Amino acid sequence: MRLMLNKVWLICSILLLISLSSVNGTSSTDYGAVAALGNAISGGGGTATTWSGNDCCTWPGIVCDPDTLRVTDIVLRAEDAPDRVPTNGKLVWSGDWTGLISDSICLLDQLSTLIVSDWNSISGEIPACITSLSSLRILDLSGNKISGGIPSDIGKLSQLIVLNLADNEIFGSLPPSVVNLGSLQLLDISNNKISGEIPSEFGEMKMLSSATLSQNQISGSIPASIATLSRMADLDLSMNQISGSIPEGIGSTPVLSTLNLCSNQLSGEIPATLFSSKGLSRLNLSRNSLEGKLPDNFCSESYFTVLDLSYNKLSGEVPKSIRSVKYMGTLDLSNNNFEA
Ligand SMILES: *[C@@H]1O[C@H](CO)[C@@H](O)[C@H](O)[C@H]1NC(C)=O
């Protein structure tokens, strides 16, 4: 009897062990969604060569939460591909992916990071359902051929810190809901076909420190609310069709270091605060229709690595205080109407 019980106990233990190990070895419930993403993204060919087996948590580029086995990060950068840069000498994924970003990612409701960048040929649209991924913190689809618009309810992504859609073929306007992205620190939509105006409540994105909207077809004026962004360090609106004047308060934002507004249709005078700003080191206002005299308020603490005001309609004398700045790297005042 004793022996029998022992045997039963042993069998139970073994069964328990087997079932435990199979729980451990089982794929995440997100397996299907990741596999579908891989298939769609690779356009049928050249998929992730080591994306095999049913435990997607071990696949290159996929990170799961160790407790829940739910997928939290997807990081697929072409530059990490071994045919360009060796990754421990192993073939991780190969081929030029030409597919699209499948709706199946929207099933990954614990997803915090989605980076699919620099594949050049990945096309299709940003799945509209992506705005239901409420844990998303980093969305980087830069360097592809993605077209269509930015989902109109993008503002629902309240945890989003990075939104990088640069170097694609995205069109339509920047949805007004974007201003609800209260955690956003970095916005890059440069080099697309985005038109329309910058939403007037742009200044609602209080955490924003870098905004790159260059090389699009954005029109309208620069919203005055931009001057309320106290963390803004780099603002690049260059190569658009932005008109109107430069908001007065922009030079008073505390940490602004780069302001690039070149190649637009800006008019009016340059706000004096831009020249007396201590932190601003790169100011490019070239190729606009700015006019009037330069204010004589350059300050001795100013440190300009770039000050480019060329190709405008500026007139009067070049102010004497410009010689008092602590440092002047590239200075270009050419193609204006300054007095000799
Ligand atoms: C300022 O912007 C113009 C127009 O894009 C560009 O050609 C120029 O090189 C920039 N200036 C500097 C000094 O970088």
Q: How far is the CA of 284 from the centre of ligand 1 (A)?
A: 6
Task: Please give all residues whose beta carbon lies within 6 A of any atom in ligand 1, as ranges.
Answer: 238, 262-263, 284, 286-287, 306, 308, 330, 332
The average pLDDT across 192-197 equals: 98
Question: pLDDT tens, 243-262?
Answer: 999 999 998 899 999 999 99
> Alpha-carbon distance 96 to 43, whole Å?
9
- Angstrom CA distances, 20 to 11, 15, 57, 59, stand at 14, 8, 17, 22
Q: Can you tell me which residue has the tokens 């451990």?
A: 24
Quote the CA–CA distance of 222 and 206 in Å, as a whole number: 17
| Arithmetic mean of pLDDT over the chain | 87
The pLDDT value recorded for residue 266 is: 98
- DSSP E strands: which ranges in 54-164? 62-64, 71-77, 113-117, 138-140, 162-164
**Sign of the CA dihedral running 81, 123, 31, 111:** positive
Task: Report the run of H or E that residue 6 belongs to, with start and end.
Answer: helix 2-25
Q: Which residue is it, tokens 């005055």?
A: 224
Q: Going from the N-terminus, what domains does the chain have, and what CATH number goes with each?
A: 220-340 (3.80.10.10)
Confidence of residue 47 (pLDDT cuts 50, 70, 90): low
| Burial environment of residue 48 by CB neighbours within 10 A (0 to 12, 13 to 18, 19 or more) | buried
For residue 28, pLDDT over 70 is answered with yes
Ligand 1 probe mutation, 286, 306, 335, most atoms within 8 A of CB: 286
Question: For residue range 136-146, what is the model confidence (pLDDT) as tens digits?
Answer: 999 999 999 99
Query: In the numeric block, which tokens belong to residue 22?
Result: 């199979």
* Rounded (to 5) percent helix, strand, coil in the chain: 25, 25, 55
Select from 239, 263, 280, 284 the residue to mutate for testing ligand 1; criterion: most ligand atoms less than 8 Å from CB. Answer: 284
d(CA 97, CA 37): 12
Distance 86 CA to ligand 1 centre (A): 36
Q: Which two tokens stand for residue 80?
A: 């990490």
What average pLDDT does the segment 28-55 reach?
76
| Closest alpha carbon to 141 in 191, 180, 95 | 191
What is the structure's pLDDT at 24? 46
* Cα 216 to averaged position of ligand 1 atoms, centre (Å): 17
Residue 228: predicted pLDDT:
96
List the residue whose alpha carbon is closest to atom 14 of ligand 1: 306
Q: What is the pLDDT of residue 180?
A: 98
Q: Which atom of ligand 1 has the smallest separation from the CA of 238?
A: 5
Cα(26) to ligand 1 centroid in Å equals 55
Question: What is the 191 CA–ligand 1 centroid distance (Å)?
Answer: 16
**Contact yes or no for 333/310 (Cβ under 8 A):** yes
Split at pLDDT 50, 70, 90, the class of 211 is very high
Question: Around Cβ 53, how many Cβ atoms within 10 Å?
Answer: 11
Q: In degrees to the nearest 10, what's the CA dihedral of 206, 140, 71, 157?
A: 30
Q: What is the DSSP letter of 301?
A: T
pLDDT in tens, 292-313: 999 888 988 899 999 999 999 9
Contact status, residue 33 vs residue 57, Cβ threshold 8 Å: no
